[in-house]
Amino acid sequence: MTELKRIIKSGFINFQRGGSVSFASVLVVTITLSVIATILFFQAVLYFSLDLIKNKVDVTIYFNVGAPENKIMSLKESLLKLAEVKDVSFSSAEDNVKKFRELHANDYSTIAALDEIGSNPLGATLNIRTKEISQYEDIANFLKSDNALASNSSDIINHSNYHNNKLVIDRLHTMISGAQKLGFLLTLFLIISSIIITFNTIRLTIFISKEEIGVMRLVGASKMRVRGPFMIEGVIYGIIATIVTLIIFWPITAWFGYNMTEFLGLNLYSYYFSNFFQIFAIILFSGILLGVISSALAVRKYLNK
């Protein structure tokens, strides 16, 4: 414990003594953490937008007029048991004709033709949403399989709109996969660049102390006794940079929340505060990890001499 206290105390002394160099290191770590925070918000907007697109894609099963509701509900239960299915909603024939009338309220000839028929020409429907866009083909295959036939659904299904929507579904799947890959590669590139910049900056602060390290090694100081204060210094950089980063992003997210919500689709200010502790933990962990690892690697060169 005595040794640990000495290491921590030496770390604080090094930080205070560093002056402008310590300030520059904190600034660089702050920039790095700002990049990481920007990536978090970018990913939040990206996945929010992708979820909106996913929720607009569905497959509808159209049933024959007069199809027994108990058979339809039996098929619905079978679909809900599938791992790919997120939600299945039922619309009765009466609901569908009501929606049809509302949709064509200004089309007199269509409404007149519907009234002329005298009976409801529309059947019930099931609207299916899957967890992933790529899974709609599995649903289409299920409807053709023996499992669906076991639900006595073959004689009540008129058709589904999967094949009509297949081109759109495939294009959206390709677009979403591409956006996710691009987001991952961009994130990886920015994080690696930030780590390299942070490492080089902290290595500069340790270079200034190379003579002191040499003296400590000559008098028999252990590697941990030499490395420890610099690692504590890295922790201090990370903590201060985390606080500064969170303060900086408060007004930034507020501006985006008030001015860009309609464009982005997501209120970043609300997202920031609703996920504050999660964001704080990620930024703090990243800052401390950056500072400690960069310091440990940078001082290693002088320990091996």
What does the DSSP assignment read for the chain?
-HHHHHHHHHHHHHHHHHTHHHHHHHHHHHHHHHHHHHHHHHHHHHHHHHHHHHHT--EEEEEPTT--HHHHHHHHHHHHTSTTEEEEEEE-HHHHHHHHHHHTTT-HHHHHHHHHH-S-----EEEEEESSGGGHHHHHHHHHSHHHHTTT-TTTEEEESHHHHHHHHHHHHHHHHHHHHHHHHHHHHHHHHHHHHHHHHHHHHHHHTHHHHHHHHHTT--HHHHHHHHHHHHHHHHHHHHHHHHHHHHHHHHHHHHHSHHHHSS-HHHHHHHTHHHHHHHHHHHHHHHHHHHHHHHHHHHH--
User: Do residue 96 and residue 216 come from a single domain?
Assistant: no
Same domain? For 199 and 287 the reply is yes
Instruction: Find the mean pLDDT for residues 185-211.
Output: 73
Question: What is the tens place of the pLDDT at every residue in 105-145?
Answer: 787 887 787 777 777 788 889 889 888 877 888 888 887 77
Report how many domains make up the chain. 2
Domain range for 21 is: 2-53+173-303
Q: Once rounded to an integer, what is the mean pLDDT over residues 272-282?
A: 92
**150 and 259, same domain (yes or no):** no
State the average pLDDT over residues 9-37.
80
Q: Does pLDDT of 90 surpass 60?
A: yes
- pLDDT greater than 70 at residue 265: yes
Both 181 and 285 in one domain: the answer is yes
Same domain, 248 and 276: yes
What is the reported pTM? 0.67
